[in-house]
Chains A and B, each alone.
Chain A
Amino acid sequence: MSEAELLDLAARAIDRDTWSIARLITLFEDRRPQCAADRALVLKHLERAGARPDGRFLGMTGAPGAGKSSLIGRAAQRLIESDHQVSLAVLAVDPSSHISGGAILGDRTRVRFPLDERRLFFRSQASDQELGGVSRSTFQAGRLLMRLFDLIVVETVGIGQNEIEIQYIADRVYLVMQPMAGDQVQFMKAGIMEIPDCFILNKCDQEDATRPTYHALRVSMSFARPGEERQLPVLLTSAQSGAGIDDLVADWKSVRNGHGRHSLLDREAYYFQRWVRDEFGRQGLLRLQSSHGSAVDFLRKAGDFDQAQLKFAAEQAN
């Protein structure tokens, strides 16, 4: 794309024009090396126009069938009804096929946002055979969205215990479970139970099933996370009846108004290291450390994330 086109897209994106944001996300997800320069240009322009990287990330994780998508859809709509300023984008990650590399991105099925509502945006991503519950592109798309929206909800793939990547992106991590998932709670306590900041028991219209699960969860939490000073919150919700949605919305709002867990630089350093490892392996990581100190130092020197990628790649090519 030409510079003029990119600037035009960026200007429209600030007004939250859907098609422009959609095309820019594609640019940010694009892993071809030449795209880094385009991204840097877009970000510079956004910065100049006053779009600050202030958006907060909410991580929604949990097993398939727990009702993450329906819950996000319902809470997002309630959020924008209750506050006429706030804006929210969803990034939903679905698994890719190991055979063909393709993916079915089905999370939209349960999230139906009103047409023409520019304060809401939904985008699907394929996990692209990454483990960890998010895609390599999640952080990249997030870098754009955090300059355009107040809140960015990241819905993880929702399979297995290794969905721990989300903690490096999200300012607050929610684990969504459904009643009668007692066995799952046991199963998960070693891995994923250590990550969340808040638990959500969804589908709580099934009252009989809710209570034992609630207690099983409390017990598991004390095993999985001994010595923790304060009890972690457990929200009881139902996407179907709407129960507890207000509590979740209030929790989301507190993240928006509070301090973020990660600074932008922390996140960039983590994902820069990951990128170096993906592209150049352990040798690349060693070279980064030996010639530049830490990822943070290198990012500071390079100016920004995209320049750092360009610079590091150029160094390796020499």
Chain B
Amino acid sequence: MSEANGKSKHLLYDNGGQAVRDQPWIFRTYAGHSNARESNKLYRSNLDKGQTGLSIAFDLPTQCGYSSDHAIARPEIGKVGVPINSLDDFHTLFEGIPIEKMNTSMTINATSMWLLALYVALARERGENAALLQGTTQNDIIKEYLARGTYIFPPEASLRMIAEMYEYSLGNIPKWNASNICSYHLQEAGATPAQELAFALANAIGILDLIRQRGQIQGEDFEKVVGRISFFVNAGIRFVEEMCKMRAFTELWEEITRDRYGVKNPRYRIFRYGVQVNSLGLTESQPENNAWRILIEALGVSLSRKARCRALQLPAWNEALSLPRPWDQQWSLRLQQILAYETDLLEYPDIFDGSVVIESKVGALKEEARKEIDRILGMGGVRSAVESGYMKSALVRSMSERVSRINSGDQIVVGLNRWTEALPSPLLGGDDGGVFKIDPAAARETLEALQKLKTQRDGSKVEKALQRLREAARSGQNMMEPSIECALARVTTGEWAGALREVFGEYRPATGIEGQKLMLEDQRVQDLRKRVDDYAARNGRRPRIVVGKPGLDGHSNGAEVIAVSARHTGFDVIYSGIRLTPEEIVQSAVEENADIIGVSILSGSHLELADQLMERLRRSGAEIPVVFGGIIPPPDFDALRQRGVQAIFTPRDYSLMDIMEKIMTLIEERQAARR
């Protein structure tokens, strides 16, 4: 109770006696697939259902700077998002959508500058005022090096592009968030809450330090840039701790912006963040349980008013099986609507203020995070900590600890390592088996549009625009305006990225798995090591496995955990990181005389990649067994087996020793057959 104006007034009510209601957050659904036309249809129907912003998923070739007609792009067109090759595709994608009123979030990183340039060019051609555009380009390259894998250029060039986008946006598109610091993917890669806090904040410090050091933005303008830094955060199942993490984020950001950057205006010190809740903990077995997990995880980022998210997007219950269908996305959207409009959640001030327990938990997280931030800054900042492999190694270690806990049963996952007996799920019934399938004809439409564009555009204009871009890249000028010119000249995504690859080169970061240990020691591990040692004694060498990550999908956790497990049980492991062609993986396996090839694929392109891989293997003359792992729907198992894949592992096979035993058995059988 408080006394104000001599009139008794409850904290919860305003002067008129009405509950002090918070605004609901922005409801988003991460969406995009097949091609620009199909995705446009999807966005319009989602907006009709009450969605209040767009969150665009791009396919992997677009994210990695390849046009759809590039060899490495072919198997991936339209799989995990929409393919965008040129400004024509953007016209199709946003047809009938008022971009000047829309809040558009683009999950795009290495090619962010290009996609923003396309968006500005779209506004210009439509005759809209580009200054009105609002939204976010994700544009967090650090977490790409660490977790997500869609990087192209080395850190220095990539960070320069981010800084240039801030500098351009400030004067031209003031409501645009040029980048968005993502701790989301760090948690997916295994980060603990303190690591998530520290790595994200160190990342933000890296960007702001760079912009300050470049010296083009100063004084009050610099405060505005600080105010435009936004975050994209994960929320896991330990929702009390996650809520505390969010409070720790807001408090630490307040301190950093005030003390390190001297931001005076409190408005620019607010920690603004959007959320996608955790996908890592969603299970393929008993997938209906994921609905509850998603609900609980949403509570972690909405309960505390002081640390409530600005925008929320929820995964779908079947995310561990495939991409969501429209109905699955609708179900997740309804969850948000019920939470915001049916419950009394938004009617209260912060309900945790004054809680001793929460305060102490927040304090502990902050302290741990501060120490880690200091450590990273001591190494010379986030760029050095990436280049030295420090951050990646820390994440791989956290991830292997998590996997070890699940394998040993110390961490309970319902339906996965406890209470695994269950009735068949009716959600998996129906003609489509509860999963989403891309129409293979969709890619054809994209390729035809690209072909048409290439014949119709003015080639000399294209070359001139690209030349200007190269010059800007070399001379250190801001590359935004030259990129917009490229967009208007109908340069393609592959050409834009190709020109910059010529100037900056391509980057291959540390894999982070050297020196990693698995915290798993039990009888099964001992037994398997014995089997491996016996094999080595019989055959004169240890079993050798090539772990490969073909194509453009950069989610390398699975491959890394398998590589570390194999070494843990005594294998010699050849692992060369992400983004290899199937041909390169076969080449490694042949040169190394591997006993088995293990391939990890999460992009949905397993059939196409299996074709390429097996074809190359046949041509080399080597007979090496191949196993697949990743997000592979059971209906595809037969097709993979027909292509010669000897075993298929999915998230349901969480037991590492089961997997390693199976792999060892395949190797032993092959050896026996050769005798």
A interface residues, Cβ below 8 angstroms from B: 17-19, 21-23, 25-26, 29-32, 35, 65, 94, 96-97, 99-106, 108-110, 112-113, 115, 121-124, 126, 240-241
Contact = CB atoms under 8 A, between A and B. Distances in A.
Contacts of A99: 517, 568
B568 A102 contact: yes
B613 to A, nearest CB: 13
Interface in B553-574: 563-564, 566-574
Contacts of A110: 508
Given A109-B508, A109-B575, 13 more contacts: A18-B591, A22-B590, A23-B593, A30-B539, A65-B388, A101-B570, A102-B568, A103-B572, A104-B513, A105-B574, A106-B511, A108-B576, A115-B583
14 contacts: A19-B622, A25-B593, A65-B388, A100-B569, A102-B566, A102-B572, A103-B567, A104-B564, A105-B575, A106-B574, A108-B574, A108-B588, A109-B511, A113-B587
A240 B505 contact: yes
A126 B576 contact: no
B592 interface: yes
B620 A18 contact: yes
A100 B567 contact: yes
B570 A102 contact: yes
B540 interface: yes
A100 B591 contact: no
A19 B513 CA distance: 27
B529 to A, nearest CB: 6
Contacts of B563: 104
Contacts of A23: 593
Contacts of B514: 94, 104, 106
Nearest to A31: B540
Contact of B572 (A22, A32, A113, A126): A126
Interface in B566-617: 566-577, 583-584, 587-588, 590-593
Contacts of B505: 240-241
A123 B517 CA distance: 24
B65 to A, nearest CB: 18
B513 A106 contact: yes
Given A103-B567, A112-B584, A126 B542 contact: yes
A103 to B, nearest CB: 5
Contacts of A102: 532, 542, 566-573
Given A18-B590, A100-B567, A115-B587, A26 B573 contact: no
Interface in B504-552: 505, 508, 511, 513-514, 516-517, 529, 532-533, 536, 539-542
Contacts, number: 108
Interface of A is mostly: mixed
Nearest to A1: B674
A271 B575 CA distance: 30
Contacts of B575: 104-106, 109
A206 to B, nearest CB: 10
A109 B389 CA distance: 13
Contact of B620 (A19, A65, A104, A124): A19
A19 B592 CA distance: 9
A51 B621 CA distance: 23
A121 B591 contact: yes
A58 to B, nearest CB: 19
B154 interface: yes
A32 B540 contact: yes
A123 B571 contact: no
Interface string B186-226: 00000000000000000000000000000000000000000
Contacts of A29: 540-541
A113 to B, nearest CB: 8
Given A100-B567, A106-B513, A110-B508, A124 B593 contact: no
Top 9 A-B residue pairs of the complex, sorted by shortest distance between their CB atoms: A30-B540, A102-B567, A22-B593, A102-B570, A100-B570, A32-B540, A108-B576, A109-B576, A105-B574
B590 to A, nearest CB: 5
A110 B567 CA distance: 20
A108 B533 CA distance: 25
B291 to A, nearest CB: 39
A97 B577 CA distance: 20
Contact of B567 (A18, A35, A97): A97
A105 B573 contact: yes
A22 B516 CA distance: 28
A30 B540 CA distance: 5
Contacts of A22: 590-593, 622
Most buried by B among A29, A104, A115: A104
Nearest to B380: A180
Nearest to A241: B505
Given A109-B508, A124-B574, A19 B590 contact: yes
B310 to A, nearest CB: 39
A26 B541 contact: yes
Contacts of A126: 542, 572
A126 B541 CA distance: 10
Contacts of B622: 19, 22
Contacts of A112: 584
A6 B609 CA distance: 34
Nearest to A117: B587
A64 to B, nearest CB: 8
A22 B588 CA distance: 10
Given A18-B620, A102-B572, A109-B511, A26 B593 contact: yes
A18 B405 CA distance: 42
